[in-house]
Structure 1
Amino acid sequence: MTPRSTGLRSEQNRQVDLRDLVRIGELRHDPRVSLDDQLSQPGFRAFTHTILRARTTMAIELLSPLLPQRRRRFPDAAAAAAAPLLLLLAVVTTSCSPVAARSPELVELSLLAGAREKGAVCLDGSPPGYHLQRGSGSGAHNWLVYLQGGGWCNTTESCSERSMTEFGSSKYMEAVEFTGILSNRHQENPDFHNWNIVVIRYCDGASFAGDTEGEDLDGTKLFFRGLRIWEAVIDELMAKGMDTAEQALLTGCSAGSLAALLHCDNFRQRFPQDVPVKCLSDAGFFIDEKDLSGKRSLRSLISGIVHLQNVREALPKGCLANKDPTECFFPAELIKSINTPTFILNSDYDSWQIRNALAPNGSYPGQAWSSCKADIRNCSSTQLDVLHGFKKKLVSELKVAEDKRDWGLFIDSCFTHCQTPFRISWISRISPRLGNKTIAEAVGDWCFCRRKEVKYIDCKYPCNPTCSSRLPTA
């Protein structure tokens, strides 16, 4: 389906913009082909079309690696949320470029049956969707459910803008390619390749947690129904065979990772007690840290989401009894009440949080942090001290998880964000390693109890030689 073109620039102007993005490093040119050839590829043009739309709206978040463009692997995409604070642009890494390698098969989109009757709809009222890749052999009765990420919207205006994208409407969703932890190739995904793998598309803007509705400025209805989407899609998957699962894993990236934490125990409760059920959070451990100016920019954003979209029903009741719902939306509080075994995968120099929560635009004078935010290798010793402080707080908030017996940790010091859905970070020659284990190996060791304990916390940047500058960032 061709994305809506209203308000977009001409093809000629768009080519100029794409060259600018390559020049400043926001898009990466594959040296094996000419720039003109790369820019003219249909899949690449469709992908960058979405990026340019994000540049003009400030309300579309592209933090998910599951942008549905044909003939390419998942790009390292980034988000534009509801304020200049969270305007992010996609970065296509070498391994994820449209011409990098032979692509796996596309996995088609399925729309939720009876969505409108259930009130389980995207922001614009369209039915939500998911992609199901059936398992085989020894994995035929095992299920991996992946919640797509893609930031949030925290105002009526930003949610209205989002409703005109694939992050707010199934009208713009297409088939996607599964890579990394989603891949059906043994070499790329040795432990989960033959499982039933589901990607639930993200179209509500509140981490599958809201349940209310509102109106745009022109009177158009907006539906904040993430919680109903979660419940209805899981119900449909149970009817399609997940009710007989022998093992199940709930996971997600970024905002989808936060959703996996929010719904982890609910997911567990849907299966018999003798069925092993676990959760994996990738790049979703957002911390409530002050930015460089002393403001709590991320808390302000989260507060808008919590109140606009009415997420209380998805939050831990014990937390709500004592704390503000905004605080209860942060993972540091969520993990206190989760009883299901959970694996936390995160960088303690998370590129998205550093760029948008710790050092958002406007929190520092001029361009003082621009180079450092673009590439951690450019940071001064003074700036690194600030980042080390961020690491220290993130690790301290993980103490709860570290002390839980059945939980796992892989906290690397790489400048990256979202590591499971990309082969380059999940399992490759240049994947991050802790304890001489790739992320895929560590997750597998924990999930299948191959080791008594799988808890790795990295030393300070730049101590880890396996942290590559080619890893996906946001």
Structure 2
Amino acid sequence: MNKIYTGILSAVCLDGSPPAYHYAKGFGEGASNWMVYLEGGGWCKSEDTCYSKVQNQGPGMGNSYKKGNQTAFDGILSPSQTMNPNVKIHRRGARVFKAIMEDLLAKGMRNANNAILAGNSAGGLATILHCDGFRALIPNAARLKCIADAALFIRGKDLPGAADKRELSFATIVAFHGIDNFLPKSCTSKMDPGLCIFPENLLGDIQTPIFLLNSAFDSLQVSSCFFQNLLLELNSYILCIHFRTTLLKTIPEDHSSSRGIFIDSCYYHDQIYFNPKWIGPTSPKLNNKTMSEAVGDWYFDRSSFQEIDMENDFPRDCTRDT
């Protein structure tokens, strides 16, 4: 694990610790090929929710919480952060990204032949937001593309909870972290910044080739963000169909080979981060290709790929090889 020491007032994680990332140096034919992966893990939108991530050592912390140390001090004298929290929340994600990119460029990424920026869930949304900027960092790369998995968080203005849940939640994230100026001007010049974090309002302006992988029945959005388990309580597939129709409408039409699309009907969230979904026997297939085959052919310009599962109107259980 590499830690980046950038000074207390510069790039630090939520808990104030130095940012860190895992680094595996390429070798052989892959020595000049790079992939930067932004792992998912959700967002925090208030001091309380950010502190909860710090307390539970979720994504956003460079240090690991040390357990097992016993002490005679307890109650108000306890050194435990759980007992007596005193953590200042640092919102410097953009600085962390910049610091890590500079470190990787110095390690040789600036001379990359092939490069990929990829991510899943919240990291997939960050991939969409940083895609063109990433290409600008490595202008001489022969091939540079982005892959966004499970990142199509939709506004869904015609779906339940559009204004009071999804729009409010994302607007709160934008305001709390103060990222208005980091969002594309092509979007913020036309609409409220809180709406410019939704991929449906961003994808049309991305110039760098990007591949979108998502489930048409994204389990996170269907069960949590949208219907909050009403789907199970009402046993209503109508809501699922409505979500699927709405999600597909949010993908801007782009028939060029630079835009890759793989939209399956599996009832899950995140796909490329787990081997069984990415390349294993339970990996869904579209046009007789697994995700890994579709992305590989698209990335190396062997063939274009834009496929949506139109045969399944309902969510599928893709956890078994059936």
Query: Per the shorter chain, which TM-score range?
Result: 0.7 to 0.9
The 1:274–1:348 alpha-carbon spacing in structure 2 relative to 1, beyond 3 Å, is same
In structure 1, the residue matched to 2:78 is none
In structure 1, the residue matched to 2:244 is 391
Once the 2 structures are TM-superposed, how far is the Cα of residue 338 of structure 1 from its aligned partner?
A: 0.8
Contact 1:166–1:173 (CA under 8 A) maintained in structure 2? no
User: 1:209-249 CA distances to partner (integer Å, 9 max, x unpaired)?
Assistant: xxxxxxxxx87421110111111100000011111100100
Among candidates 202, 212, 219, match of residue 351 of structure 1: 219
User: 1:242-274 CA distances to partner (integer Å, 9 max, x unpaired)?
Assistant: 111001000000000000000000100011345
AA aligned opposite 2:228: P
TM-score by length of structure 1 reads 0.60
Among candidates 166, 170, 179, match of residue 62 of structure 2: 170
Aligned pairs for 1:69-108 (under 5 A) are none
Q: Does 1:121 align with 2:26?
A: no
Q: Does 1:311 align with 2:179?
A: yes
Once the 2 structures are TM-superposed, how far is the Cα of residue 163 of structure 1 from its aligned partner?
A: 2.1
Once the 2 structures are TM-superposed, how far is the Cα of residue 276 of structure 1 from its aligned partner?
A: 1.2
Contact 1:282–1:418 (CA under 8 A) maintained in structure 2? yes
Once the 2 structures are TM-superposed, how far is the Cα of residue 302 of structure 1 from its aligned partner?
A: 0.9
Aligned pairs for 1:25-104 (under 5 A) are none
CA separation in 2, counterparts of 1:265 and 1:150? Answer: 23
In structure 1, the residue matched to 2:284 is 432
CA separation in 2, counterparts of 1:292 and 1:312? Answer: 26
CA separation in 2, counterparts of 1:326 and 1:292? Answer: 18
Among candidates 35, 39, 44, match of residue 148 of structure 1: 39
Q: Does 1:281 align with 2:148?
A: yes
Secondary structure of 1:171 counterpart: coil
Aligned structure 1 segments of 4 or more residues deviating by more than 6 angstroms = none
Count of residue correspondences: 302
Runs of at least 5 residues in structure 1 that lack an aligned partner in the other structure:
1-108, 175-217, 373-379
CA separation in 2, counterparts of 1:421 and 1:410? Answer: 15
In structure 2, the residue matched to 1:251 is 118
In structure 2, the residue matched to 1:237 is 104
CA separation in 2, counterparts of 1:274 and 1:145? Answer: 14
Higher deviation after alignment, 240-249 or 154-163: 154-163
CA separation in 2, counterparts of 1:251 and 1:227? Answer: 16
Once the 2 structures are TM-superposed, how far is the Cα of residue 398 of structure 1 from its aligned partner?
A: 0.9
Q: Does 1:406 align with 2:273?
A: no
CA separation in 2, counterparts of 1:333 and 1:399? Answer: 9
CA separation in 1, counterparts of 2:179 and 2:99? Answer: 17
Once the 2 structures are TM-superposed, how far is the Cα of residue 117 of structure 1 from its aligned partner?
A: 5.2
In structure 2, the residue matched to 1:334 is 202
AA aligned opposite 1:130: Y
Q: Does 1:468 align with 2:318?
A: yes
Once the 2 structures are TM-superposed, how far is the Cα of residue 470 of structure 1 from its aligned partner?
A: 4.5
Contact 1:388–1:460 (CA under 8 A) maintained in structure 2? no
Once the 2 structures are TM-superposed, how far is the Cα of residue 455 of structure 1 from its aligned partner?
A: 0.6
User: 1:368-391 CA distances to partner (integer Å, 9 max, x unpaired)?
Assistant: x3368xxxxxxx4xx212211111
Secondary structure of 1:433 counterpart: coil
TM-score by length of structure 2 reads 0.87
User: 1:333-386 CA distances to partner (integer Å, 9 max, x unpaired)?
Assistant: 11121100000000011011101122126xx5xxxx3368xxxxxxx4xx2122
- RMSD of aligned residue pairs (Cα, Å): 2.4
Once the 2 structures are TM-superposed, how far is the Cα of residue 159 of structure 1 from its aligned partner?
A: 0.9
AA aligned opposite 1:454: F
Runs of at least 5 residues in structure 2 that lack an aligned partner in the other structure:
67-84
